[in-house]
Amino acid sequence: MVKRIVLIKDTAATGPDTTRDFYNRFLDGIREHKLLDEIMVVRAADLGYYGHGLVVKIMPNNIVYHNVQNTDIERIIKSTIEKNQILDDLILNEKPKQIKVALRNCGLIDPENINDYIAHDGYKALSNVLLEFTPEKVIDELKKSGLRGRGGAGYPTWMKWKACRASRSNPKYIICNADEGDPGAYMDRSILEGDPYSIIEGMMIAAYAVGASKGYFYIRAEYPLAVQRIDEALTKCREVGLLGENILDSKFSFDIDIRLGAGAFVCGEETALMASIEGKRGTPHPRPPYPTGSGLWGQPTVINNVETLANVPYILCYGGDNFAKIGTNSSKGTKVFAVTGKIKNSGLVEVPMGIPLKEIIYDICGGTISGKDVKAVQTGGPSGGVIPNKNLDVLVDYDNLQKMGSIMGSGGMIVMDTDDCMVDIAKFYLGFCVEESCGKCAPCRIGGFQILQILNRITEGKGKIEDLATLKRIAVSMQKASLCGLGQNAPNPVVSTLNYFEEEYKEHIINKRCRAGKCVALLTYTIIQEKCKKCALCFTNCPVKAISGNRETGYKIDQSLCTKCGKCKEVCKFKAVSKE
Amino acid sequence: MSKFNKDTIIAIHNQETAEQPDYISVGMSACGIAAGAQEVYDVFAKQIKSRNFTIKLRKCGCAGMCYAEPLVEVKANGMPVVTYGRVTEEIAQLILEKHVANSILVNDCVVNIR
């Protein structure tokens, strides 16, 4: 009978993978000690540790050794495995960096089975709230928890609820904003698909607290599986009386409908979202009046983000105080980030507020794929900004990111390495916002387009140094005069890259050079004659016949014909093609 | 089904947490399905039926480890809960033959254990 499982993985960032070699040695050791029947040795694919050399994890004791050498095998078997003694010089005592609150059930429960949700404390919060709490007490508990909106702006949730509760008009509405549109952010989708009941429960608690009788899911149509799972969950809830009249034998009645977003980014903005639900064109209108006073169909409305609502049952189930223990003074709880880009382990991470950005990038996600340096991290999607490598020590919460000229946003985190061009990144986000601008107000419609034109010019090598001042001027007017968050924040990527990487902009303009080699128009491919072996590989592979010459005289690239596809550099075996 | 009240919720909770059956759980969010989770799920479903395994097969959402999709979590034979990553149809076969049938973990696929 196997008593222990030993997992082995080489986590060193550089050098060849020695997992297999070490595994064989370890197995030999186990064989020598005649422990083959009791110990199972397994090569792991990943243990969640990076840059710790050879890691050995012993289960079920959950002992983790790091930087293990071949010479340590004997010691580990003799003391830890045979006598249960822990080797202090090898032990890795690292607290888990992730805390799962919003994602507590994701990947754990069956999203299509309500009983499984109930087994994981589902509807416990709701039954407590409906039968024992007054609405004021619910709002108080939220206040104690310090929960702030996870959709981007970070407005305290309890204040929203309180303002809506104070409105005299009836009926009131609850809207779940599931129109997740930031490029590279998908935490809401994950919760909608993995734990639909918790969002529904969160909405019900919100409805009880503010006195609403009707709720809406506003989900983007690009999430068909999310829509399907939410729809099935709602049907199930109606079947067992968790939605409808007199829920759980209380006086509370509530029902929820789904509305699909047709794919406009601006509909994630709350006033545009409500217009869309009302069947109007999805364009924003000025606030105030705020939705909590006059929202959907002119009635008081609370709009909360998916992740915010997923936190609510947790707070009411385990207490606002417990939630407030996680995080920093101004930002409580955890935040889910979708880490993507040039990162080794892309995916969702849920970390307590106030964790250093560095730990997310290196300790949880394992650094960049290429092993090159991180150049910058873009947070907050197209409304956010970049955080340069030198500031990776920043503690991630709402206020700190704002000080850095970025925002928390919905939690997208795009990692860039030294192969990424900052002007190109700014251009990408601006292009996104120009495409998504609804066109209602001039600063956003015209300003965005003008900035994009200038950026295009710069990346084509036609920029002028005065352009930088113009960029800043347009950005300020957009920030001050746009109608909604989309236009106000659209220039943020430009402002923040200009702030941290002005050098790179100047290089593009003055030296006509892109150091990352991204801006195609600024590149020149040349053949380094000293290294060229005249093999003719580039000559035969050039798709536009821009390379001329023969095997005696050597080869030359005709710049007027070259389309800078990079094929010649790719095929050259002697590194004789340079790209600058 | 009759209408739930507080007692039914407590009863379901107690009943569900009392039994701790062995299971194979496949991550079936859009990300997992895109990486091939449906095919993996089908292999498990077919094999469990044809070979009369008693283990329960279920779906779950995304656990956040997108780089290692499709993810399969296995709890079997009193061993710790093991998560396998980048599971293919072949690896799914191995998981059944080795892990479920013979309590041997599959090499080079484990991404988490708890």
Q: What is the DSSP string of B41-108?
A: HHHHHHHHHHTT---EEEEE---S-GGG-S-EEEE-TTPPPEEE-S--HHHHHHIIIIIIHH--PPTT
Instruction: Give the residue from A417, A451, A475 where a domain finishes.
Output: A417
Distance from CA of B63 to the nearest CA of A (A): 4
Is A347 in contact with B66 (Cβ distance < 8 A)?
yes
A350 in the same domain as A307? no
Residues A308 and A395 in one domain: no
A286 shares its domain with A148: yes
Asked if residue A177 and residue A303 are part of one domain, the reply reads: yes
What does the block give as tokens for A337?
């980030």
Same domain, A177 and A210: yes
Same domain, A491 and A542: no
Which of A226, A242, A349 has its CB closest to that of B4? A242
A107/B60 CB distance under 8 A:
yes
- Put simply, the answer to whether B30 touches A189 (Cβ < 8 Å) is yes
Q: How many CB pairs under 8 A join A and B?
A: 141
**With contacts defined as CB-CB under 8 Å, which chain A residues touch B66?**
346-348
The CATH number assigned to the domain holding A292 equals: 3.40.50.11540
CA distances, A377 to each of A125, A343, A459, A549, B96 (Å)? 37, 10, 21, 45, 41
SS3 (DSSP) at A320: helix
Q: Is A44 on the interface with B (CB under 8 A)?
A: yes
Residue A90 is assigned to a structural domain of this protein: no
Q: Which domain holds residue A180?
A: 114-321
What is the DSSP track for B1-56?
Answer: -PPP-HHHHHHHHHHHHH----EEEEE-SHHHHHHTHHHHHHHHHHHHHHTT---E
Residue A535 lies in a domain: yes
Contacts of A141 (CB under 8 A, 6+ apart): A133, A315, A316, A319, A320
Nearest to B5 among A47, A107, A248 (CB): A248
Cβ separation A118–B58 shorter than 8 A: no
For each of chain A's 580 residues, which pLDDT tens digit applies? 677 888 898 888 777 888 888 888 888 888 888 888 888 899 988 888 888 888 889 888 888 898 888 888 888 888 888 888 888 888 888 778 889 999 999 888 999 999 999 999 999 999 999 999 999 999 999 999 999 998 877 899 999 999 999 999 989 999 999 998 888 889 999 999 999 999 999 999 999 999 999 999 999 999 999 999 999 999 999 999 999 999 999 999 999 999 999 888 889 889 999 999 999 998 888 888 899 999 999 999 999 999 999 999 999 999 999 999 999 998 999 999 999 999 988 889 999 999 999 999 998 998 898 888 999 999 988 888 999 999 999 999 989 988 888 888 888 899 999 889 999 999 999 999 999 998 889 999 999 999 999 999 999 989 999 999 999 999 999 999 998 888 998 999 999 999 999 999 999 999 888 888 888 888 888 899 888 988 889 999 999 999 998 888 889 999 889 988 888 988 999 889 888 7
Asked if B4 and A240 come within 8 Å (Cβ–Cβ), the reply is yes
The answer to whether residue B77 neighbours chain A at the CB level (below 8 Å) is no
Token reading at B62: 């995304």
Q: Which of A65, A83, A101 is the last residue of a domain?
A: A83
Give the end of a domain, one of A457, A489, A511: A511
Residue A97 contacts residue A396 (beta carbons within 8 Å) = no
Q: How far apart are alpha carbons B101 and A160 in whole angstroms?
A: 54
CB contact under 8 A, A110 and B30: no
Q: In residues, how long is chain B? A: 114
C-alpha A254: how far from chain center = 32
B11 and A CB contact within 8 Å: no
Q: Is residue B94 part of a domain?
A: yes
Residue B4, chain A, CB below 8 Å: the answer is: yes
Q: Is B6 on the interface with A (CB under 8 A)?
A: yes
Closest chain A C-alpha to B45 CA, distance in angstroms:
16
Say if residue A404 is in the same domain as residue A505: no
Whether B68 maps to a domain, the answer reads: yes
Would you call B30 and A195 a contact, using CB atoms and an 8 Å cutoff? no
Q: Which residues contact A433 (CB under 8 A, 6 or more apart)?
A: A382, A444, A448, A486, A487, A490
Contacts for A115 with CB less than 8 Å, ≥ 6 apart: B12, B16
Shortest CA gap B12–chain A (Å): 7
> What are the tokens at B91?
């690896």
* CB burial string A89-120: b at 16+ within 10 A, e below: ebeeeeeeebbbbbbbbbbbbbbbbbebbbbb
Count the residues in chain A.
580
Task: Give the residue numbers spanning the domain of B107.
Answer: 20-113
Q: Is residue B12 in a domain?
A: no
Closest in A103, A111, A240 to B3, CB measured = A240
- The CATH number assigned to the domain holding B28 equals 3.40.30.10
Q: Encode chain B (114 residues) as per-residue pLDDT tens digits.
A: 578 888 899 999 999 888 788 999 999 998 899 999 999 999 999 999 999 888 999 999 887 888 888 999 999 888 889 999 999 999 999 999 999 998 889 999 999 888
Q: Are A426 and A411 members of one domain? A: no
Secondary structure letter of residue A44 according to DSSP? B
Q: Number of structural domains, chain B?
A: 1
Distance in Å from the first CA to the final CA of chain A: 63
Structural domain count, chain A = 5
Which CATH number is A387's domain given? Answer: 3.10.20.600
Q: Per the domain annotation, does B11 fall within a domain?
A: no
Q: Do B62 and A193 touch (CB under 8 A)?
A: yes
Core vs surface per residue A441-458: b (16+ CB within 10 A) or e: bebbeebbeebbebbbeb
Determine, yes or no, domain membership for A26. Answer: yes
Measured between CB atoms, does B17 come within 8 Å of chain A? yes
Rounded to whole angstroms, what are the CA distances from A152 to A161, A500, B27?
Answer: 17, 23, 28
Q: Is residue A479 part of a domain?
A: yes
Asked if the interface predicted TM-score (ipTM) of this complex is over 0.95, the answer is: no
The reply to whether A9 and A141 lie within a common domain is: no
Taking the Cβ of residue A47 and every Cβ of chain B, the question of whether any pair is shorter than 8 Å is answered with yes
Q: Are residues A293 and A144 in the same domain?
A: yes
Residues A31 and A150 in one domain: no
Same domain, A266 and A358: no
pTM of the model: 0.90
Please report residues of B whose CB lies closer than 8 A to that of A42: 105-107, 110
A194: in domain:
yes
A282 domain residue, yes or no = yes
Residue A104 lies in a domain: no
Instruction: Give the residue from A479, A537, A408, A348 showing the smallest Cα distance to A149.
Output: A408
- For chain B, say whether A7 makes contact (Cβ under 8 Å): yes
A108: nearest CA partner in chain B:
B60
Please tell me the distance in Å from A81's CA to the nearest CA on chain B: 17
| A7: nearest CA partner in chain B | B110
- Within a domain: A492: yes
Name residues 191-230 of chain A within 8 A of B (Cβ).
191, 193-195, 223-226
Q: Would an 8 Å CB–CB cutoff place B66 in contact with chain A?
A: yes
